Amino acid sequence: MKRRAVLLSLLTSLAAIAVVACEEAAPEEPAAEPAPEPREPTEPASPNAESAARESARDAAQQLGRALKTRLLAAMAEGPRAAVEVCSNEARTITARVAEETGARVGRSSLRLRNPDNAGPAWVRTWLETTGERAAEGVTPTTTMADDGRVARFVAPIAIEGPCLTCHGPEDGIAPDVRALLDERYPEDHARGYQLGDLRGAIWAEVDVRETE
């Protein structure tokens, strides 16, 4: 009788161990990921807010153009090397200052970049590719809205003027010391070989639509 009780106790213990072992070996069910919340449709901008954003984008681009041109012409009075130094060292600072003052995202871009950092957003690239390499005459500034209607975009052509040829003209027309400086500062330079009146690229700005109460 005593042996039977011991055997029964032993079988009970083994059964308990087997249950524990099965529980430990069973893989855990992966937790179900919560379903994504439905995105609310974007409310269209009011006409007044859209108009204000368009105007702000245009003004920001024009402010950047004036600031850069004024500084470059002043540098050109000191010689073409000084102008290269301005483009290399000051243009980014001027652009950042205009962006801060206006609250816009602004910049310059081209199909033939001198500085790869100036590639700009995709919509500017699309505008450049659609416009193509051509004379700047007849290319007009354009203001549009992003597909969601919440961002105003402005883009205007940059034309090659006389002073621009000093650094952007045909290779054999650029002074050797200027070529050397360009090679040093811009090893990926693709912005030479232009003629007077060519479309150099674009100056652009974009502004988020802000509703007012």
pLDDT tens, position by position, 116-166: 999 999 999 999 999 999 999 999 999 999 999 999 999 999 999 999 999
Inform me whether the pLDDT recorded for 14 exceeds 70.
Answer: no
Q: What is the mean pLDDT of the chain?
A: 84
Does residue 101 register a pLDDT over 50? yes
Task: Name 101's Cβ contacts closer than 8 Å, sequence gap at least 6.
Answer: 63
Residue pair 161/78 in contact by the 8 Å Cβ criterion: no
- Domain assignment of residue 13, yes or no: no
Domains held by the chain: number: 1
Whole-angstrom Cα distance, residue 169 to residue 195? 6
Higher-confidence position of 114 and 8 = 114
**Contact in structure between 164 and 84 (CB atoms under 8 Å):** no
- What pTM was computed for the model? 0.77
The answer on pLDDT for 9 being more than 50 is no
Assigned token pair, 139: 């290319």
Mean pLDDT (whole number) for 65-83: 94
Q: What is the pLDDT, as a whole number, of residue 42?
A: 59
Q: Is 113 a domain residue?
A: yes
18 assigned to some structural domain: no
Give residue 59's domain range.
47-208
Would 51 be classed as within a structural domain? yes
The CA distance from 173 to 44, in Å, is 52
**Domain assignment of residue 58, yes or no:** yes
Q: Which residues contact 170 (CB under 8 A, 6 or more apart)?
A: 192, 193, 194, 195
